[in-house]
Homo-oligomer: A and B are copies of this chain.
Amino acid sequence: MEKHNIKTSEQHTAEGILYTDQYQLTMAQLYYRHGLHEKDALFDHFFRTYPDYGMHQAGYCVNAGLEWLIDWMGSVRFRDEDIDYLRSQTGQTGQRLFADDFLGWLAANGTFESLKLAAIPEGRVVHPGVPLTSVQGPMAMAQILETPLLNYLNYQTLVATKAARIHQAGKGQLLLEFGLRRAQGKSANAGARAALIGGADFTSNVGISQVLGYPPKGTHAHSMVQVFMALGEGELAAFQAYADVYPDDCLLLVDTVDTLQSGIPNAIRVFESLRRKGHQPIGIRLDSGDLAYLSIRAAKMLDDAGFPETSIVLSNQIDELVLLQILSQIQDEAPGYGLDADHLIKRLVFGVGTRLITSDGASALDGVYKLVAVCDNDQWIPAIKISETPDKIPNPGFKHVWRVYDQRGLATADVLSTRDEAHLDSTHILLRHPSDESRWRVIDQSAISRIEALQVDILDGGRRVYEFPSLESIREQRRSDLERLDPGVRRIVNPHIYHVSLTDHLWSLKLDLIRRYQKL
């Protein structure tokens, strides 16, 4: 067995159609052998629980990743080298694992062009148990898609969600994504995109900024100051050098030596010199210590020196809980220094690295992809999986996904119905809990301002039937969806639980199926 290591040129193999689990291929061959491979199947992709960060849990997620998935699906197929590789695989007794007839079928049909895909668009607020993506098509290819679909969608939704929370805890102040160096490998680019979707305004990652059309942001590192110091010059010389090169973009990191004794006084000297030359300094960055205390002291010193408009960028292990603490501390302590806390907060900018791009505390979203129907003789048969944990039993069959808004215009529930129920138009809508028969709720039509279908068609027979919105539109969608959430659902700690419900009709279908399989 030859063992060697990846080369960049081998990316096409490692990130192509074989970017899936081995068992998808062995199952696909089984379907082929039993004549099931071209039977239409329907799989739903959904997540089961909001990210739980330990001491705090999300009350909503922000959907992301779809366009990159669809782009990947359109760019991959079983190439000759992929088929050759499968042909070379052997089982326990040395016999070939994949037979020529199956490999011939894969070579001829092994693309995702046969699939129909509907999904909730990116940037939308989404909740557990709601089908975010529904894939319909020949069993074999729909099965092979499971792994890459989850890989592409789980992570971006996880990071978009974390970004939305951090943006919210930061009271909407400018948020910069700084996580490239600590990201989990090449997830960094998808993570930067997801962060922008969820609430970051810019990223320091240059390559992905170019691709996405956003200007990258950054200041300077401690190493720049260290270089000048090692050469016998000081922090002030380093700051002056920076101001010389970037007179209109001068943002200085002030904590290399001593923030209050050296960094801020030196920055102010440089700012004064810039001002004399007609330039407007941008601000300072604090990257260590008690960030709330230091930003109060810095604001005071900058105010006193006549720079009340300069920004104060905070970085260093920031997440939504740290921001809750920092902003609360500023509210408490700023008045003692004669500062207006709200004004101080308005000049803050947050640089967030590790804890955003890795979704610290909840490193994965538990998205799953479950078979919910199989077509036999032109008849769709709902499928189910029994579990001892009722929460884990998926909702069977073709479904519509609705969002119901109350008279305040706020989302009050997401409702899954069977496909036969074209509209939720009865006088009273009975909303069933998805797994607990004893829990239900009735909404009167008069309490409803609007009912919205959430899924849209994306692919039909491999053809895109959807125009992907700009990242700016996706960000706008996220903003408006978050505004239409109850503040209790949106809050950072102990959020209210948003209702995801089944219609009575879907609930009855689910119960029938459970009973039928329990008798088997």
- Using CB atoms and an 8 Å cutoff, list the residues of chain A in contact with chain B: 1-8, 10-11, 13-16, 18-27, 29-31, 33-34, 36, 41, 43, 54, 67-68, 71-72, 75, 85, 89-93, 95, 97, 139, 143, 146-147, 150-152, 154-156, 158, 178, 180-191, 193, 204-224, 226-227, 229-231, 234, 241-242, 244-246, 248-249, 256-258, 280, 282, 288-289, 354, 358-361, 363-367, 370-371, 373-374, 376, 381-388, 468, 470-472, 517, 520
Known: A387-B288, A470-B3. A22 touches B190 (CB 8 A): no
Contacts A/B (CB < 8 Å), 23 sampled: A1-B215, A2-B213, A3-B471, A5-B68, A14-B189, A23-B218, A24-B221, A36-B231, A89-B215, A90-B215, A97-B246, A151-B181, A151-B186, A182-B365, A183-B187, A184-B184, A184-B358, A186-B190, A187-B187, A222-B385, A230-B383, A256-B386, A257-B520
Known: A23-B220, A26-B220, A181-B147. A7 touches B71 (CB 8 A): yes
Residue among B85, B204, B364 making CB contact with A360, cutoff 8 Å = B364
Please determine whether A191 and B181 come into contact, CB atoms closer than 8 angstroms. no
Known: A182-B154, A371-B226. A30 touches B147 (CB 8 A): no
Chain B: minimal CB distance from A458 (Å): 14
Known: A92-B282, A471-B4. A22 touches B217 (CB 8 A): yes
Please determine whether B178 and A184 come into contact, CB atoms closer than 8 angstroms. no
Residues of B within 8 A of A193 (CB): 5-6
Please determine whether A97 and B249 come into contact, CB atoms closer than 8 angstroms. yes
Please determine whether A180 and B244 come into contact, CB atoms closer than 8 angstroms. no
Residues of B within 8 A of A288 (CB): 387-388
CA distance A258 to B520 in the complex (A): 11
Specify the chain B residue showing the minimal Cβ separation from A176. B22
CA distance A5 to B468 in the complex (A): 9
Please determine whether B181 and A230 come into contact, CB atoms closer than 8 angstroms. no
CA distance A223 to B54 in the complex (A): 31
CA distance A93 to B286 in the complex (A): 24
Please determine whether A21 and B181 come into contact, CB atoms closer than 8 angstroms. yes
CA distance A184 to B187 in the complex (A): 6
Residues of B within 8 A of A41 (CB): 227
Chain B: minimal CB distance from A485 (Å): 25
Known: A1-B213, A230-B374, A256-B386. 6 other contacts (CB 8 A): A5-B68, A16-B207, A21-B206, A30-B224, A257-B520, A358-B363
Please determine whether A204 and B4 come into contact, CB atoms closer than 8 angstroms. no
Chain B: minimal CB distance from A264 (Å): 15
Residues of B within 8 A of A21 (CB): 178, 180-181, 204-206, 216, 218
- Copy number in this complex? 2
Please determine whether A8 and B217 come into contact, CB atoms closer than 8 angstroms. no
Known: A185-B190, A207-B19. A8 touches B224 (CB 8 A): no
CA distance A205 to B148 in the complex (A): 10
Residues of B within 8 A of A248 (CB): 91-93, 95
Residues of B within 8 A of A219 (CB): 23, 26
Residues of B within 8 A of A207 (CB): 13-16, 18-20
Chain B: minimal CB distance from A424 (Å): 27
Residues of B within 8 A of A191 (CB): 184-185
CA distance A158 to B184 in the complex (A): 9
Residues of B within 8 A of A373 (CB): 230
Residues of B within 8 A of A4 (CB): 212-213, 470-471
CA distance A468 to B204 in the complex (A): 32
Please determine whether B72 and A210 come into contact, CB atoms closer than 8 angstroms. no
Specify the chain B residue showing the minimal Cβ separation from A70. B5
Residue among B23, B213, B230, B258 making CB contact with A382, cutoff 8 Å = B230
Chain B: minimal CB distance from A230 (Å): 4
Please determine whether A30 and B220 come into contact, CB atoms closer than 8 angstroms. yes
Please determine whether A92 and B249 come into contact, CB atoms closer than 8 angstroms. yes
Known: A184-B187, A383-B229. A6 touches B71 (CB 8 A): yes
Please determine whether B187 and A218 come into contact, CB atoms closer than 8 angstroms. no
CA distance A154 to B186 in the complex (A): 11
Please determine whether B14 and A151 come into contact, CB atoms closer than 8 angstroms. no
CA distance A17 to B508 in the complex (A): 57
CA distance A170 to B14 in the complex (A): 28
Residues of B within 8 A of A282 (CB): 92
Residues of B within 8 A of A226 (CB): 371, 383-385
